Structures are given as structure tokens and as C-alpha cells.
Structure 1
């Protein structure tokens, strides 16, 4: 197969070719006469919201990011506030070298309206310090809802100087949506990047020319398999990923009680004082409470019925649930994050002994409370 290196998809950046429908960059011959040039994959995502099984492997993603440290550029790192730890690129410092990093915390519209923005920024600063990442600024925004975007633009302008801008992030953090907003402010380029709910939408470097001769460079999203959003089938992402402000669910639990999150995860309050737990998950996730000693039986008898994933998910397609014990110390408010599903806040500082059952490979961590 001969790749047409002189043509690249305006949506995902991949080199275009006309010979193999099953491979990246396929475009029908007739479509080569149209502007902008869009590969068939991007066309079907954009017009029919269809997913594609074609994505780059993680090693390929890392190779594309590997040269950033040898260039002079502003690096805009985008994270998802709904899955902060799951969407952080842990090795980013190794890639960026001495380049300045602007941290954009996206999807802030999902948090309850009463949330204090300054407290969120302080929380993010502590997480960034723990990750040994030095940043020049932290900006909260919602690219989808146009919240805080003026602040993103001004911070990019302040720290870019006479440099290119690389935009990096894990899959599904809203990176392409934010870049489309940057295009409107910085470039006359008419074509927008392909944006969809499916991970791995951008497949190659996409260079957007700026008025001063430099570029905004969109990089492929890194696929992290420790996120639940990478474990479920693409057709089931819609219900799992919230698109409206979260409606926290509060449960008063005694020890030896369990919460099921559909059939996707299970939260056991093994031992501790009577206390309340607040669940921050997609509004489509049904939460069911039961006794701990009945949990195994309930799951075995009612998974797929009373306990079922949102959407059309087939439980046989999901990895088996794996137990993670957690001992919560006293004296501090904590969250239990299940990457890609959301988090459970312990409202008491009395400590607790917990166990979380999540699909094998999905990250489960104890962290300082976000809210």
C-alpha cells in the first residue's frame, strides 16, 4: 500500500490512502476532490457518530510525543476533572524537558455549582506537586460549555511567547474540543478536528498554522487501560461518561454494607463508625445498596438484571471484578476514585476499612477529597 504523504486528514491528522478500507487514512478517490480532506473514519464519526476499532498502540503514541523535549514550545496539558488521576500523563516531565507546561483542567462544568473554584485549584496544585510536575499556570475550564475559556486563551498568549504550542492529554479528556476553540481564536483554518465520545480520535500530529507563522500541534491521546472508559465497549461510553452536572448521591451506611454501581463496580464498607458516603458518578449509573454478607449472592443472581451496566453492555465482555482493600486513616477527608467511573467521598473523618471491586486493571486509589 502506498500512503499519500502529501495529503493528511484534516480531522485526525493521519496520512491519507485510497487502497485499503481496513487501514488508517482510507479515503475514497472521489472524496479527494473535496475540501477539507477527511478520512472515511473521521467522516463516519462526524456525520454518523460511529466508532472505529482502528487506533494507534501506546508505544506509537509515546514515540510521537518523544521529540517535544527537543523543541522550544509551550506544552498545554489537558486533564479531566472527572478522572483527574486517571487522565494524568505520569511521564510527562520526561517528554517536555525544560519547556513550560500550562495545565488545563477541563470538564469543570460537571462539578456541582456550589463547588469553590479556588479550592479546586489548590487541590490540583497539591496533586501536581505530588506528580513532580512543574507548571506555569493552572486553568479550570469547560471547552464544551465555554466556561473559563477566555482564561485559557490569555494564559496561552502569556506563556507562549514566540513558540509553537503542543496540546497533550489522555484519550477522552476533551482535547480536540478545546483545540477547535483555539482554532477559532488563533487561526483562519476552517476545518475542525474530529471530536467524538470515542477514545483515540486523533491518530497523528495535527499542525494548525497560527497567524505569526507558528503552530498549535494536536498530539494523539494516550490510551490508558487503567480507565474504565477504555475497558467497556465503545458503544457504552455515552451513559458512562457524564455530560451534565453530577447529581451527588448520599448514602448513610453502617459497617458491613455494600453499594453496587450497576454491575461495573462494588464498594464495601467493611468496618467503621456509621457514616455517610457521597457518590459522584454519571447520572445514568444506578446505585444499589445491600448487606455485605449478601453481596456475592446478589451479584451472582442478579447481574445483568437488577445489577446491570448502563447502555447495552454485556457483562461477559467485561473483565472480572477484582478486590482492592483500602484502609482509610482518621483525621482527614478522603475520596475513593474508580478511574473512569467517578468517586465516592467519605464525609466523616473517623476512618474506615473498605474494599472496592472493579474490573481487572482499572485504577482504584484513595486520595484527598476533591470537594
Structure 2
């Protein structure tokens, strides 16, 4: 080992820093792992006084490339320890995937905290859903007395100014929590103008990333992986493709009893009108724009649907080993004032019902029946 190599190793052992993009501790020994940066690049950027971000964040920021995934167990252990240190919490969830991202089990852990609720991605909802209508619906669903609820969209900056203004009045520190891909980092970049890495990939934040607004320190925590959302079954690249990036698509169905409807490749349903099976039910499916719908009564297609993955049926986005999944069948009756929500994927609004849905989908994916968000036009009181 040369003297220069010895000096470098000493520097590596003593110098501690974190990537400002994702919060991971900078390291030089394990390529592909969070926080890695080639030491020569680190040393050069340090001498030049340039921003030092890990290789993972650099590739995300400049090329949209995802190079490593965070360890889920480590993240949960980390979060449980961190949560004890914060009195104030900002809980961010995705309004399109409410059931998948607003988690009662997490809310239970926050009973002793002061919680601000941020309902993000408002732009993904149909334009017929107004903010006041959504807020009344959320108040019932959240069911927390005097809950502070902010409705936001970083895409069109809806609600961002109000959230920023109210946070600027606070002092001390606040922890930001949320399930993967609810847009926590995007919100913080919008209100703090920081250099945090923002990407459509899950698990981008893998440590606490500190921001500041006024006299308030804001700490962004890693996204929580819950394991019961359809989107989590796909690889990170596919997830980024099918995430709702704008107003979701809506398709109306009026199927015959013998027809099967595929939503992507891993969810299929049959539907009948309960009062009279000679009449056809009517319902609308809301899903991200890159999720494909396919209605058929072709037995060959139904029995060999995996051949169409990545083509007629998306997601999956390409080849996918369907044999690794266990599937379940559920029969659920949904009335006209209700919706069927498939966690991390889509929701179905009934127009003529009740409708009995026969669903086939992966075993771990949760399905919910909820009060309909899409209601006939009516007056809403301002809140």
C-alpha cells in the first residue's frame, strides 16, 4: 500500500457524511448499495467544493436510473427508533390510493404525536372531484378529531403555498412519514427548494434527510413498505411506469355475465347485477393511465393470460413469473353508494347496482369496500 493509499484509507475511516439526496451514509466499499460513491469521485468533488451525492442519487437525478433497493426490515427498525424522538409528525398519503397509503396501523403508533395529514396527488383524481368534496370525504375516513388536513399536488402546486406558509409558523422539528411513493420528497422539494433526490421509484429515501423552512427542521424518513398493495408486486422500473402521474383514466363497463374483465394481468373480475341477472351492471374503473383494461369471453385468452403480460395486459411491464404468486378468489357485493378499492392499483365506482363482483387477484393484495368518492353532483359545505 502506498502512502497515498494509506492517506485515503485514513480519510475514509474518519470522514463521515450523508448524501443530501437520500440520507444514506456515504460509503466507498460496496457498489450498488445505498450511499456508494467511488472514492476518487468523492475526493475530486470535495476539493472542487461541489455537491456530493451518492452514485444512486446521481443516476436517479441525471439519468432516471434506479441502482439499488433499500432493505425493508432495516427501514422499519430504523423508523420505530426514530419515531420515539419526534413529537410532531407530518403523515403524507396518496389520495388516489387512499386505502393502500393511509394506514390505520401506522396511525395507531402516532396517538401521542401532533399529526398533520397531507393528502397528496390531488391532480390524479377526476376533475369532477372538488377539494371541498374530497376534504369532507377524508374527514370521515381519517376519523381523527380536529384533524389538520392539507390537500396538495406538487404537479400543479395545489395547496403547496398554504402548507408552506403554515409550516413556516412552526418551530422545533417535525418527522415526515408515508408509504413508498406517496410523494413525500416531492412535497419537501417544493416547499424547501432543497436538492433532495425526487424520483418515481420506491424507497428513494433510505435515511433521515434534513430540510429547513423558517425555524422548523423537517426530517424526511424512508418510505414504508406495507406489502399488500398491487404495485409492490412489480419491479421498481415497472412501478415507476404505472404510477399515476396525471389524472387517472376512467372506463365504463356494462358487461354480460359470461364476460371477464382484466385490469392489468394480475386482476380479473366477473360482475353481475344482483337484483336481476338478466340486466347488465354498470360501473366505472379508475386506474393510472398505463394500466390496461381488457374485456373478453375468449376461454383461450382467459386460461393463458400470462402470454399477454407486457402487451395487452400491463402491468406486468414485461415477462413475469406468475407461478411465484398465490391467488385468491373473492365475492363482494358493492352498492351504488359504494366503491371497490384494490390497494395500490385501482378503484371501481358502481353506477347501476348492487353488483356482485367475483375477483381473482394475488393473495396478499387487500380489497376494500368504501363510501363512494364519486358521487352525483350535489352541494358541499365549505370547510
Q: 1:290 to 1:40 in 2, by over 3 A?
A: same
Counterpart in the other structure of 1:222: 224
Counterpart in the other structure of 1:237: 239
> Is 2:175–2:218's contact at 8 Å kept on the other side of the alignment?
yes
Alpha-carbon shift at residue 89 of structure 1 (Å): 3.0
Matched, 1:119 2:121: no
Q: What's the TM-score once normalised by structure 1's chain length?
A: 0.86
Query: What is the RMSD computed on CA atoms of the aligned residues?
Result: 2.5
> Equivalent residue of 2:189, what SS?
helix
> Is 2:205–2:222's contact at 8 Å kept on the other side of the alignment?
yes
> Equivalent residue of 1:114, what SS?
coil
Alignment of 1:39-118 (within 5 A): 39-58=54-73, 60-73=75-88, 75-118=89-132
Alpha-carbon shift at residue 136 of structure 1 (Å): 3.4
Aligned length: 353
Matched, 1:178 2:187: yes
Alpha-carbon shift at residue 303 of structure 1 (Å): 3.3
Q: d(CA) in 2 for partners of 1:329 and 1:279?
A: 13
Alignment of 1:12-23 (within 5 A): 12-23=22-33
Counterpart in the other structure of 1:252: 254
Counterpart in the other structure of 1:281: 287
Alpha-carbon shift at residue 15 of structure 1 (Å): 0.7
Counterpart in the other structure of 2:378: none
> Is 2:101–2:178's contact at 8 Å kept on the other side of the alignment?
yes
> Is 1:65–1:219's contact at 8 Å kept on the other side of the alignment?
no
Matched, 1:262 2:268: no
Alpha-carbon shift at residue 62 of structure 1 (Å): 4.4
Matched, 1:136 2:147: yes
> Is 1:4–1:15's contact at 8 Å kept on the other side of the alignment?
no
1:343 to 331, 342, 347: 347
> Equivalent residue of 2:129, what SS?
coil
Alpha-carbon shift at residue 167 of structure 1 (Å): 1.0
Q: d(CA) in 2 for partners of 1:78 and 1:287?
A: 29
Matched, 1:362 2:365: yes
Alpha-carbon shift at residue 83 of structure 1 (Å): 0.8
Q: 1:283 to 1:54 in 2, by over 3 A?
A: closer
Alpha-carbon displacement from aligned partner over 1:221-273 (angstroms, at most 9, x marks no partner): 00122112211122212332121212311111344432112313112214524
Matched, 1:327 2:332: yes
Q: d(CA) in 1 for partners of 2:62 and 2:323?
A: 29
Bigger radius of gyration among the two: 2
Q: d(CA) in 2 for partners of 1:239 and 1:93?
A: 29
Which sits farther off after the overlay, 118-127 or 23-32? 23-32
> Is 1:321–1:357's contact at 8 Å kept on the other side of the alignment?
no
Matched, 1:163 2:172: yes
> Is 2:271–2:281's contact at 8 Å kept on the other side of the alignment?
no
> Is 1:100–1:135's contact at 8 Å kept on the other side of the alignment?
no
